[in-house]
Structure 1
Amino acid sequence: MRLLVLLMLAICVSFSSAATTLAQQTQRIISLSPHTTEMAYAAGLGDKLIAASTYSDYPPAAKKLERVANYRGLKMERILALKPDLILAWQGGNPSRELARLQQLGMKIIYSNPKTLTDIPKTLEQLSQYADYPQVALQAAAAFNQQLQQLKTANLNKSKVRYFYQLGTTPLMTVADSSWPSQIFHFCGGENIFANSRVAYPQVNQEHVIVGQPQVIFSPQPIKTTLQLWAPWQQQLAAVKQHHIYQLNANWLSRPTPRTLLAIKQVCSLLNQVRDDH
């Protein structure tokens, strides 16, 4: 028994030593997407960030970082010149060819590709090993898990509500269940009328939406803008007739970060309003 205890202590000391070494070796971090920037700050790595992507605007300190990436691609020469110890990349969002090139040149890259809500605390735990104070990330992960469980309990056995999540108007687009935002809607009891689309972000038309008969329409756009598109279909769509058109906070909803909890609270509350009206 004593031997087992000593062995466990040795493993813990070894792990702690390895984590400390990683933290000491990682002093210059570049983030290539808004959500990885936000995650870095949440994990206590904000003081090590030296550059980020366009639209990395949270927390406010992120706005002061140099921009080395946007929707067009990466500023390769500038990234190399900054000599980062670690790059945080969005798998599927950042160009794979340029990321592969950075790896070939010896850059260390952590890829973020969240599929489920529980991937958020897992990512925080992963990032903790690069922080000088790993407890910041570990406490954030624990707090997220606790609040997520509380929200899950509060939303158990809720009736399904058919929804349409509108992205833009020209073209009219939405999300399938394979996309990130659908995680939040599903958590709250939402039933996507385009759940089974073959692509993550399908292009649709108004007739498709009418056939789907959503009980509520969500959009990151102002309600007035969304209503202008659907007002002519008031008699055909219950969501319009019953004024169930709502604007959502796009950053809370689309970025897999601790603020996803705010998106869950917002969506669940609005779906409850729809339920109360039926």
Structure 2
Amino acid sequence: MPRFRARLVLLLVCRPVFLISLWGLAFSAYATSPRVISLAPHATELAYAAGLGPHLVAASAYSDYPEQAKSLERVANYRGIKLERIIALKPDLILAWRGGNPPKPLETLAKMGFEIRYLNPNQLSDIGQFIRELGRYSKTSDIATRNAKAFDKKLAQLKARYQNAPSVRYFYLLSDTPLMTASDRAWPSQLFRLCGGENIFAESPAAYPQVNMEQVITRLPQTVFYTGATLPESWQSMAELVPDHAQRFTWPLNPDWLTRATPRALNAAEQICTALDKVRHAQ
């Protein structure tokens, strides 16, 4: 592989017009079973969606979907990554997340010649694109093509259905102690916007701002979303302060669906869209 990479760099310098075709050569240069490591839960899910599941040799903590991912060796968590172990596993490809993985160890791996693909989504449509790109590393790219098409189709259907839906003001209860939410800078807000949700803290400069109950009340939310099985008890004691309709319309969401940039994000979108429709019909 190092010799191939050296030849590839030389060809890119001398003949940049062949960039696209050389990408194809680079992908096909992998062995029949390329070794892949994922350093984030959403990257693990995307790898499986792209047909790379059989090639994963290690993953990060909380990589729990699909079921097969639970048996993978763990080489990363919120504290950092196991640099020496990753090197020992000799991966052909490392899937990483800027902001979620420490930069210095990844820079070290890159200098050593390991290929790192960062999967940092900015919008929902990136999910299908990531699946297609990762599929090029697999010998079964048809799996990636099929899953990417299915995701794109479902996303397009939801956009078409809700593009003209009346907006509904919502409050997303991320944490109750301290009271925190997500602004429009945060990933989950895209799913709410897709369904016609209007974030009462959309303009906050922080992605995940800490707020207070007075701010929630004065912004008059029409509904409240939260993650987990039940509303936190501390919120229940304060809920009577928010408008009546927001008390009646509180909805639980699956946290993995909501926060991970994977095909399952549209499951969360469907939860949200259904909830907002019920609020609209009740008014």
Q: TM-score, normalised by structure 2?
A: 0.88
The match for 1:24 is: 31
* Matching residue of 1:52: 59
Instruction: Give the equivalent residue in structure 2 for 1:234.
Output: 240
Residue of structure 2 equivalent to 1:66? 73
- Matched-pair contact (CA < 8 Å) for 2:221–2:246: no
Q: Structure 2: give runs of 5+ residues left out of the alignment.
A: 1-17
Query: Could you tell me which residue of structure 2 aligns to residue 249 of structure 1?
Result: 254
In 2, distance between residues paired with 1:211 and 1:277?
A: 22
Measured after TM superposition, the shift of residue 141 of structure 1 is 1.0
Q: Is structure 2 residue 267 aligned with structure 1 residue 267? A: no
Q: What is the CA distance between 1:19 and its match in structure 2?
A: 6.0
Give 2:115's aligned amino acid.
K
Deviation at 1:68, TM superposition (A): 0.5
Give 2:159's aligned amino acid.
Answer: K
Partner residue, 2:142: 135
Distance 1:147 1:204, change over 3 A: same
- List per-residue Cα deviations over 1:141-188 (Å, max 9, x = no partner): 111111111122222311101111111222221111011101100000
Tell me the residue number matched to 2:192: 185
1:184-227 C-alpha deviation (Å, 9 max, x unpaired): 000000000110111111111211211221111111123342x6
Alpha-carbon distance between aligned partners in 1 of 2:218 and 2:29, rounded to the nearest angstrom: 54
Question: How far has the Cα of 1:83 moved from its partner?
Answer: 1.1
Deviates more, 1:82-91 or 1:167-176: 167-176
Deviation at 1:81, TM superposition (A): 1.1
In the alignment, the residues of structure 1 paired with residue 183 and residue 24 of structure 2 have an alpha-carbon distance, to the nearest angstrom, of 44
The reply on whether 1:86 has 2:59 as its aligned counterpart is no
Equivalents in 1 of 2:210, 2:66: separation in Å? 32
Distance in 2 separating the partners of 1:231 and 1:159: 30
Question: Aligned-pair distance for 1:245?
Answer: 1.0
CA offset at residue 98 of structure 1?
2.0
**1:25/1:133 CA distance change after superposition, 3 Å:** closer
2 CA distance for matches of 1:49 and 1:139?
20
CA distance in 1 between counterparts of 2:245 and 2:37 reads 43
Q: In the aligned structure 1, how far is the partner of 2:243 from the partner of 2:196?
A: 20
Q: Is the 8 A contact 2:223 2:250 kept in 1?
A: yes
Contact 1:39/1:124 (CA < 8 Å) preserved in 2? yes
CA distance in 2 between partners of 1:178 and 1:232 (Å): 26
Aligned residue number for residue 4 of structure 1: none
Q: CA RMSD in A?
A: 2.0
Counterpart contact for 2:60–2:74, Cα < 8 Å: yes
AA of the residue aligned to 1:255: R
Work out which of the residue numbers 217, 221, 230 in structure 1 matches 2:228. Answer: 221
Q: Is the 8 A contact 1:234 1:240 kept in 2?
A: no
Structure 1 residues 12-40: Cα deviation after superposition (integer angstroms, max 9, x where no partner): x9579626624437611000000000000
> 29, 39, 42: which one pairs with 1:35?
42
Task: Say how many residue pairs are matched.
Answer: 265
Distance 1:17 1:121, change over 3 A: closer
Of 248, 259, 263 in structure 2, the residue corresponding to residue 258 of structure 1 is 263
Listed as ranges, the gaps of 5+ residues in structure 1 are 1-10
Tell me the percent identity.
49
Matches within 5 A, 1:158-197: 158-197=165-204
Partner of 1:5: none
Q: Which residue of 2 aligns with 1:6?
A: none
**Structure-2 separation of matches of 1:232 and 1:261:** 31
Give the TM-score normalised by the residue count of structure 1.
0.89
Q: What is the rounded CA distance, in whole Å, between the counterparts of 1:270 and 1:221 in structure 2? A: 16
Aligned to 2:7: none
Q: Distance between the aligned counterparts of 2:245 and 2:139, measured in 1?
A: 50
Contact in 2 for aligned 1:175/1:201 (Cα 8 Å): yes
Which of 134-143 and 97-106 deviates more?
97-106
